[in-house]
Structure 1
Amino acid sequence: MLHDTADKHTDRGRRVLGALLALASVALGVVLILVHLGMPVMVTLAGAGLVVVGLATVTGVDGAGRSGRWTRIAVGLAAVAAGVVVLAWRTASIRTLLWVMVAALVAHGVHTVVGAWRGGTDRRVAGLFSGAAAILLGLLCLVWPVLAIELIRYAVGAWLVFVGLRALIELVVERPRARMRAGRERVGRWARTAAAVVVFLLVLALAIGSVVLLRGDDRPEPDAFYTAVEPLPDEPGVLLRAETLTAGVPDGADAWRILYTTTRPDDTVTVSSGVAIAPADRGGDELPLLSIAHGTTGIVPRCAPSLSPTPFADGAAAALEQMVTEHGWAGVISDYVGLGTAGMHPYLVGRAEARNVLDASRAAQQLDGLDLSTDTVVWGHSQGGHGALWTGQIAGDYAPELTLRGIAGMAPASDLYRLADEDKDSVGGKTVSAYIATSWNEIYPDLDLSGHLNPGTAHGVEKISDLCFNEKDVIAALLRGTQIPEQVFPDSVLEGGLGDRLRENSPTGPWPAPVLVAQGLADPLVTPTMQENWVAGRCAAGDPIDFRTYPGLDHMGLVAADSPLTPQLVQWTLDRWAGAAPTPTC
């Protein structure tokens, strides 16, 4: 009799403890989901949740199944230990804490799956789905190390709610049958199963979405066209081959893919590719020439604009189409070295970009059936704006046979040091920094950038560097950027040798022709403040600049077809050709 009474008290105590732990798990999960919290508090609650779940597992009241006693205790203590580490190790990086929490989630998921096989059919189904959900959730935290902060809030919060509710349901289901009707017992059991299936499907959807978003696109690698036959001519700007281009060509225009010689940053001759476009109805007159520097597309060969199904879509594409089909101009766009052709692309290395642009203009003049002027106007957006300004800066020395009539930079990367400093914590800034880290590590080996990245960023840098920054790849590149936990370069690196190189590659003039700089005032990447300060500095140095700002337009909106800049850019370019006096604002 006394033995039975003691058993009843023990069982009652176990049930009360289980109920308290289950309610605590639910409460922590609800707070994580519904309350906006700072990351330290969020991590603290997640750690506390691991402790609660671990204690529930140790005592066998977590509803995870009837696994072996020592297995249950080991898994529970591991979860408690992980929770304590998360709570106590305040100086650890988010990636380190994620590894701790991931290990606990995966261990608890395995425990749930194994323990479920000792129960009935409904328990097996529920254990399989809830355990698999915990394992998959843990792996997703590794795939999305920074977005895992949100996973901590929502997914881990939902997991805590589920574990708590599962434990409460288990306590109800295990009540003596004399005190429960069979129907109520079945409802409790299958409610647990239904909840497990729903949680698993939600996590599975996250996993499938992750695969789709991070995969990028399947664009082709460069074919034999992009490989030159050795030996190369000694001089830059020689057209090596050309082929007719049909994809992405506006109505009323002809286009070609070209391969030509140019020079690397170390002055050695190499090859670059590009595209040229001209009116289909050219007559016999000499055509005015637009030389266009394209914006960021990536740093690996398959990211070349000439490989894209829309090779003329970069930057102010609508304005380019008007210039060709309505005003009878020709245009040429360099891919830049390393895009299309072999070798590392010298990303945002000013002289290299400019040489590629000028040599493309030289090569286009050698196309059969084209009679092009040696006078040219240069355009560029973003990275291309940087390249356009550098093209004007070195044209007189590098290609004196070309005469620049005007230089237009749309949201140009004009002050690289300030750009890197201002954007170091943003997604776009981390993506650009990843390209710089990979490209400049080879272009400027003395910097040893690969050895001076912030801890935890190298994996993201490697992934981003192999992705392009256009078409579907741009989504994957930016998402990878969100997963770099902190700025790519420590401040000490920015303030040291890297900062010096960034300043060296910032255009400072003087320029031999009128300069137009256009800036969207809602641009989060190339910020208006940075541009205004750069323009003010150039004006103070005596360089007249026509600086135009556009309220409400962001980085890409500035060069969209419906942007107010489009007709202004066309007219400004026509004015330069007509010899109209420039209208600088300083």
Structure 2
Amino acid sequence: MALAAGCAWQPPVTDQAVPPATVADTAARFSEPEAPFEPPADDAFHVQPSAAELAAVAPGTILRYRPIAPEAYYFFEVNARAWQVVYRSNDTNGKPQAVVATILVPDEPKPRLLSYQVAYDALTRRCAPSYEILSGSMVEHLLMNKALRRGWVVVIPDYEGPETQFLAGRNAGQGVLDGIRAARRFLPDAWVDADTPAALWGYSGGAFASLWAAEIAADYAPETNLVGIAAGGPPADLASSAEHVDGGLFAGLYFAAVIGLSRAYDRIDVDTLLNEKGRRMFEDLDASCVGQELAWVKDPVLSGYSFDDMRDYVTVDNLLAVPVVRQVIAENRLGQRAFTAPLLYYHARFDQITPTSDARALARRYCELGVPVVFESAFGEHITAAITHASRAVDFLADRFAGLSPADDCAQLSRDRNP
């Protein structure tokens, strides 16, 4: 019977008012979407409000909301009640924009709030978490379920924003933090209130967004009350990772990153930098995403770009040496700002995208900024390590929620650099 029902599971409704009157009286309520689901580009729920409407409210303010029935990947369950909210955030350049987040609440929620950043690595909103959890194509709900089983409330932001600015750090970090703000406003105080501790978790592109949120939280959202971050396999150095994958199996990631960053930074003059072959590549991958095969869109890694070199698509000898490109990469570099929450940084032993030396260098930068870092080697390569180390990530965050102090590997990381 569960399989026939599509594995969408909703716990019993309690007497809690969702959302509170402060939201219900000011935000527009949409009805629960039904299959076949409209993709975000055709869904009225996702339409950007007017510039005036966005400018009139503070970041994190909820503009729309709706209940949903979260759909699981194949035969698994999403054991939570769920809602989606549209909230005001800011893009890379500080321009107000509306972002969507999905909020999952287990049957007996505890005062714990986890912001989970999906590695959707997308150039199209068809791969956004808010759409994939409706259509049942999100693989990472298997990891979120580990948190839901512990009673944690989970918020899943579409942190790339409406323009899907892949790898634009500030855009992503602000989307994450405003999603936490929106979740606090949407849920009753009995579940989540202003004092509820929050944690961040993500892998790969999701780890990049999580770390950016942690780095800017003190300035952008100082009330967030972050107690822990679990980040696995982030691109520790964008330029180094680009050089590492260029001409190899994962070369398509480099192409996707250029497209995503060019959307966030119009000072990257792609018309001048791309040759005719590069312009065709941009058009070909304009609506692609990495590793989201059930979204039925192109995957940059599987679309014929493996083992290609970027130099064949541009008008310069080395794209990474172009001053404006170097500046954008520097602005999106991780490890520039301190945060007080302890960090579990895990990295695959056989990672194909980020060299281990880059990962350890980023961990050391955080140590030098005063961040308590636990650095661990995860079994497997880049993809499998997301699974093999997931339980460890949840255990780490559970201890942070409990107020326990973690070990700190900073002394060892320093010795490894200076034997």
What is the TM-score when the length of structure 2 is the normalising length? 0.77
- Aligned-residue Cα RMSD (Å) equals 2.6
Which residue, 147, 150, 154 being the options, matches 1:323? 147
Over the matched positions of the two proteins, sequence identity in percent amounts to 25
- Cα 1:495/1:320, change in 2 over 3 Å: same
Aligned twin of 1:360:
179
| Cα pair 2:102 2:155 within 8 Å, conserved | yes
- Cα 1:362/1:309, change in 2 over 3 Å: closer
CA distance, structure 2, for counterparts of residue 499 and residue 228 of structure 1: 32
Structure 1: runs of 5+ lacking an equivalent: 1-217
Which residue, 445, 459, 463 being the options, matches 2:280? 459
Deviation at 1:281, TM superposition (A): 3.2
Aligned twin of 1:535:
363
When you count strand as a share of all residues, which structure comes out higher?
2
- Cα 1:378/1:221, change in 2 over 3 Å: closer
How many residues are paired up? 356
Aligned twin of 1:390:
212
Aligned twin of 2:61:
238
Aligned twin of 2:226:
404
The amino acid across from 1:536 in the alignment is R
CA distance, structure 1, for counterparts of residue 233 and residue 224 of structure 2: 25
CA distance, structure 2, for counterparts of residue 454 and residue 540 of structure 1: 42
Deviation at 1:388, TM superposition (A): 0.8
Partner SS for 1:240: strand
- Counting only pairs closer than 5 Å after superposition, residues 257-406 of structure 1 correspond to structure 2 as 257-282=84-109, 287-309=111-133, 317-325=141-149, 327-338=150-161, 341=162, 344-369=163-188, 371-373=191-193, 374-406=196-228
CA distance, structure 1, for counterparts of residue 227 and residue 307 of structure 2: 43
Deviation at 1:518, TM superposition (A): 0.7
Kindly report structure 1 stretches of 4+ aligned residues shifted beyond 6 Å: 310-313
Structure 2: runs of 5+ lacking an equivalent: 1-36, 411-419
Deviation at 1:575, TM superposition (A): 0.5
- Counting only pairs closer than 5 Å after superposition, residues 91-490 of structure 1 correspond to structure 2 as 220-222=39-41, 223-230=43-50, 231-232=53-54, 233-248=56-71, 250=77, 252-282=79-109, 287-309=111-133, 317-325=141-149, 327-338=150-161, 341=162, 344-369=163-188, 371-373=191-193, 374-428=196-250, 430-453=251-274, 456-469=277-290, 470-472=292-294, 473=296, 476-482=299-305, 485-487=308-310, 488=313, 490=316
1:272-317 Cα distance to aligned partner (Å, 9 max, x none): 01211011234xxx62100122213312232211111468976864
User: Larger Rg: 1 or 2?
Assistant: 1
The amino acid across from 2:80 in the alignment is A
- Cα 1:411/1:476, change in 2 over 3 Å: closer
1:243-272 Cα distance to aligned partner (Å, 9 max, x none): 112132535411112211101122121100
CA distance, structure 1, for counterparts of residue 140 and residue 289 of structure 2: 19
- Cα 1:507/1:491, change in 2 over 3 Å: farther
When you count helix as a share of all residues, which structure comes out higher?
1
Q: Is 2:388 the partner of 1:558?
A: no
Partner SS for 1:287: coil
Aligned twin of 2:5:
none
Point out which structure has higher relative CO (alpha carbons under 8 A, 6+ apart): 2
Partner SS for 1:347: coil
Aligned twin of 1:495:
321
1:173-213 Cα distance to aligned partner (Å, 9 max, x none): xxxxxxxxxxxxxxxxxxxxxxxxxxxxxxxxxxxxxxxxx
CA distance, structure 2, for counterparts of residue 454 and residue 537 of structure 1: 37
- Cα 1:297/1:417, change in 2 over 3 Å: closer
1:528-582 Cα distance to aligned partner (Å, 9 max, x none): 232123223443554431110024x11120122xx1x122112101100111111
Partner SS for 1:518: strand
CA distance, structure 2, for counterparts of residue 570 and residue 293 of structure 1: 14
Deviation at 1:585, TM superposition (A): 1.1
| Cα pair 1:292 1:333 within 8 Å, conserved | yes
